[in-house]
Chains A and B, each alone.
Chain A
Amino acid sequence: MSDAEQNKPERSLAAKWTRRGFIGAGVLTGGALVIGVAVRTGNPIGKLKPIVAPGDGEALVNSWVKIDADNIVTAIVPHCEMGQGANSTIAQMLADEMDVSWDNVRVMDAPADGNYVSQHAARMFVGPGTLPDKPNAVGFMEPTYDGLFTQVAKLASAYITGGSSSVRATGQNGMRIAGAAAREMLVAAAAKEWGVPAGEITTADGVLTHGSSGKTATYASLAAAAAEQELPNAPRIKSVDEYKLMGTAAPRKDIPLKVDGSAMFGVDGGPAGENLRYAAVKAPPVVGSSVASIDASTAKGMGGVLQILNMGDFVAVVADSYWQAQQALNTIKTTYTETEIDDLDSEQMFANYAAALDEAGESGGSSKADYGDASDAFANAAKKVEAEYRVPFLAHATMEPMNCTAWVRDGKCDIWTGTQVPLMSRDGAAEGAGVSADNVTMHTVFLGGGFGRRLTPEYANQAARLAKATGYPIKMLWSREEDTAQDFYRPADISRFTGGLDENGKLVSWNNIHCTDDEPAEAPLVEFYDIPNVAIRGAEVEPPLRLGAWRSVAHSQHGFFVESFVDELAHEAGKDPVEFRRELLANSPRHLAVLNGAAKMADWGSELPEGHGRGIAIARSFGSIVAEVAEVDMTGDKPRVVKIYCCVDAGFAMNPDGLAAQMESGIVYGLTAALYDEITIKNGAVEQSNFHDYHMMRMDDAPEIAVQIINGAPDNLGGAGEPGLPPAAAAVTNAIFAANGQRIRELPIAKHFA
């Protein structure tokens, strides 16, 4: 029997709305119990409205659980795995609520098995929904929008796919409830079968036990009977003191696949047994231009070359191998249509940005926060401090360059691609292939890094167009050069501050203006600091590059701006940077605990070797609070980050090792940018091309990282993938200042040590 047949529902599933959401249960052929939960996530706010189910205005978190005849429990997660381990953590939450041991839990990405849950069943549970059409929505790594964010899994032929993953949405609101419901139904089935009160039945390791009669049964043996039980209205989820697996370092389920080469990434996918052809592509280097002409005279005669295509918005070579395609593409001479930014370079762009800030002046621009009277307080301040900071554009540089394999035939299209937004990519592919979205099959693959880069559908669209144009199943792969030149970049920005201190060195006014349209909007805000007069404003600029969500999004620049300026103020106030922040955080106990935690880890204030310095920074992003202390060695010809001490409060660490790994990862990503990287523009185009000029942190310059976790709000989970990043840059520049008095106000740091 095929998988598809085996997994067909035997009959329609029972389902009902409950207080918390929508629960359904049924039995699949072979006796597997399947339970699905679609949860209402509360009161959708304005920003969320456009992405939730039309009509009912609700966001849904979808979770599926299957109990097989062999007592294996499978968590079917509507998200893709790009390295953050969240799918495993979500399964951990399920296993804990269900009382099954981790060994007997499997994780499955929902899109992988479209036939697994029938269209009918999916329709019952999921209902219609759409993904945000906004490519720089924060997306996969982190829910935001006041914790309500979830990119809604959408019914797509037989597939449920979701672009957003989240321990705090899917895990907390979906999987845990699905697990608790499954457990209650199993207990009810056992109670009925044994004729004993449900309250006398205990569960552990996938087994039901009635103590006084000595009766036991596996979950699997009662799976079918459980599906007949009344669906619980509000399954009881565990309190923190009842957690067994939650809060433990359960090993990730995907890791064994990633040590023997068997994990399938987008670039590894494709139709079995088909004769794949390979495409190399190059898009115009300047935004807004298109291909005017190509001279492919050399390429034509090159080995393996099958087709050369001018697609208007890019040039492609299709060949028998990727290498041949790329070699041939490299020989093609292309001209492009003119644009208004053909003469633009980074220097001019920053001048334009500065002019926009000049024009906004002391009080212009759009207001992002305004309380007290910042101008008045500044005018009357005993000490006035001003500073301007700059950050460059940044590329994501995911380890796996963008790629997509597409096969278009008979009105259908199959897609293999690493994407954070499978539904948006599906729509992009459908458009490219000229088929309806229902006829596009998205195959699940691992993502070789996401970081916000894989939130756009254009590469799926490109591959589908090539497959359609050539008739071949096409594996299109971007060179690293193409990947660097055609990113959706972290915005470049200038941020200006004025701050006023009173005669006791207390911070009384904070006035900030910067250029970017912030996503999320909270990024530049400082309400956790006790500052009575605050004005934060934004000036509008026209970025010459495509912008996207880059790990931690606008927090990546504002973490640097805000914490640099706070540090400057501390020094102007003649106070120790930790002490100065402590005073400002008097009314923010969780922040204060995290700050103190990091300072303690680093033994703040203790003697350091000659030429070393320590710096601290703290940031709140995506519901988590992180403070970092950097120790920097300035004795060489350039700064060396020796150690990072990181203290994090993510509410509750469902998997402490996973949270620590995410901190380590976010810190290295942040340090890489802070120390080395900038995307610059010349003649309107990106100048960098590959790892020789867009530098990656490597083993020999990676600091030791220590992570300490505070579980400061067990019912209010924060994110993990991004919050480690925002404090990293300022911790280092503050440490450099502490070491030698050099204040770095423009990133990357390497610029100042050339």
Chain B
Amino acid sequence: MVKISVNGKAEDIDVDPAMPLLWAVREQLGMTGTKFGCGIAQCGACTMHLDGEPIRSCSTPISAAEGKEITTIEGIADPDGTLSKVQQAWISEQVPQCGYCQSGQIMSATALLRQTPRPTDEQINAYMSGNVCRCGMYGRIRKAIKVAAGLETATGADIAEEASA
């Protein structure tokens, strides 16, 4: 039995402690927002936060999360359901195409802005280059991060309003 805390909720999970966090969360807890892309820490689709730090959950054993706080895409909005600034910017910039990489992108971007609230292009490029978007939405991700940081204005201000309404 491994004791973990996911998005503020304590969970006891009966799995091999070597099992990567990704599979424990997806299969045992049924939280499928976090995605599998490569399994070898190459694509970032599986990004979660462990005590606020982004990790590749496909390559992190659940035992490493014991006693720590895990945050997934499902827990990134405010507790009252208001989307985070990053999520709102993802909508205003119409970032997702297929959307499969976007949970990981949002988790990475959120961590970036926590560490570096006003990132430069170079900082964004460096921090985000662990997250692959096969649909190639890099320009929009870059813009959305700057919008979330308040460095640029949203393309579709009306859009963001609608989404948070």
> Which residues of A does B touch, CB under 8 Å?
82-85, 103, 249, 251-252, 254-265, 267-268, 276, 278, 303-304, 321-324, 326, 397-401, 446-451, 477, 479-480, 657-658, 661, 664-669, 672, 690-692, 696-702, 704-705
Which B residues between 32 and 75 are near A, CB-CB below 8 angstroms? 32-40, 42-43, 45, 72-74
A255 touches B96 (CB 8 A): yes
B74 touches A479 (CB 8 A): no
A664 touching B125 in the complex, CB below 8 Å, given contacts A83-B96, A691-B132: no
> Which residues of B does A touch, CB under 8 Å?
15-16, 19-20, 23, 27-28, 31-40, 42-43, 45, 72-74, 76-77, 83, 87, 90-91, 94-103, 106, 124-126, 128-142, 156, 159, 162-163
Complex formed: what's the CA distance from A707 to B45 in Å?
Answer: 28
B96 touches A322 (CB 8 A): no
Contact of B77 among A82, A260, A326, A399 (CB under 8 A): A260
A699 touches B138 (CB 8 A): yes
Contact of A303 among B16, B38, B94 (CB under 8 A): B16
Which residues on the A side are within 8 Å of B90 (C-beta)?
Answer: 255, 258-259
Which residues on the B side are within 8 Å of A661 (C-beta)?
Answer: 94, 97, 137, 140
Could you say which of A252, A278, A449 has the most chain B C-beta atoms within 10 Å of its C-beta?
A: A449
Contact of A699 among B36, B45, B142 (CB under 8 A): B142
Complex formed: what's the CA distance from A260 to B78 in Å?
Answer: 11
Q: How close is A402's CB to chain B, nearest CB, in angstroms?
A: 12
B91 touches A696 (CB 8 A): no
A699 touches B124 (CB 8 A): yes
A-B contact pairs, 9 of them (CB 8 A): A83-B96, A255-B90, A261-B32, A399-B133, A399-B135, A666-B136, A690-B39, A691-B132, A699-B141
Complex formed: what's the CA distance from A323 to B21 in Å?
Answer: 10
Which residues on the B side are within 8 Å of A657 (C-beta)?
Answer: 94
B98 touches A691 (CB 8 A): no
Q: How close is A267's CB to chain B, nearest CB, in angstroms?
A: 7
Complex formed: what's the CA distance from A254 to B156 in Å?
Answer: 16
Q: How close is A300's CB to chain B, nearest CB, in angstroms?
A: 17
Contact of B94 among A255, A278, A323, A448 (CB under 8 A): A255
Secondary structure dominating the interface of B: loop
Complex formed: what's the CA distance from A698 to B43 in Å?
Answer: 9
B94 touches A252 (CB 8 A): yes
Complex formed: what's the CA distance from A398 to B73 in Å?
Answer: 21
Complex formed: what's the CA distance from A477 to B36 in Å?
Answer: 10
Complex formed: what's the CA distance from A83 to B135 in Å?
Answer: 8
Which residues on the A side are within 8 Å of B28 (C-beta)?
Answer: 321
A692 touching B40 in the complex, CB below 8 Å, given contacts A259-B87, A259-B106, A702-B139: yes
A83 touches B39 (CB 8 A): no
Q: How close is B33's CB to chain A, nearest CB, in angstroms?
A: 2
Which residues on the B side are within 8 Å of A399 (C-beta)?
Answer: 35, 37, 43, 45, 98, 100-101, 132-135
Q: Which residue on B lies nearest to A304, using beta carbons?
A: B16
Complex formed: what's the CA distance from A85 to B101 in Å?
Answer: 16
Could you say which of B42, B73, B139 has the most chain A C-beta atoms within 10 Å of its C-beta?
A: B139
Complex formed: what's the CA distance from A260 to B164 in Å?
Answer: 12
The 5 A-B pairs with the shortest beta carbon distances in the complex, nearest first, are A261-B33, A668-B136, A83-B98, A448-B100, A258-B99
Complex formed: what's the CA distance from A145 to B37 in Å?
Answer: 34
Q: How close is A286's CB to chain B, nearest CB, in angstroms?
A: 23
Known: A251-B94, A260-B74, A397-B134. 15 other contacts (CB 8 A): A84-B97, A249-B94, A251-B91, A255-B90, A259-B102, A260-B76, A261-B34, A276-B27, A323-B23, A398-B100, A399-B135, A400-B98, A665-B137, A668-B133, A698-B128
Q: How close is B65's CB to chain A, nearest CB, in angstroms?
A: 15
Which residues on the A side are within 8 Å of B124 (C-beta)?
Answer: 699
Contact of A260 among B83, B101, B138 (CB under 8 A): B83
Which residues on the A side are within 8 Å of B133 (C-beta)?
Answer: 399, 668
Complex formed: what's the CA distance from A449 to B96 in Å?
Answer: 11
Complex formed: what's the CA distance from A664 to B95 in Å?
Answer: 11
Q: How close is A665's CB to chain B, nearest CB, in angstroms?
A: 5
A259 touches B36 (CB 8 A): no
Which residues on the A side are within 8 Å of B35 (C-beta)?
Answer: 265, 267, 399-400, 448
A691 touching B38 in the complex, CB below 8 Å, given contacts A449-B100, A661-B137: yes
Which residues on the A side are within 8 Å of B102 (C-beta)?
Answer: 258-259
B99 touches A83 (CB 8 A): yes
A261 touches B96 (CB 8 A): no
A664 touches B137 (CB 8 A): yes
A449 touches B135 (CB 8 A): yes
Contact of A696 among B32, B40, B43, B163 (CB under 8 A): B43
Contact of B96 among A258, A303, A668 (CB under 8 A): A258
A691 touches B137 (CB 8 A): no
Which residues on the A side are within 8 Å of B91 (C-beta)?
Answer: 251, 255-256, 259
A668 touching B138 in the complex, CB below 8 Å, given contacts A261-B74, A303-B16, A399-B43: yes
Complex formed: what's the CA distance from A460 to B96 in Å?
Answer: 26
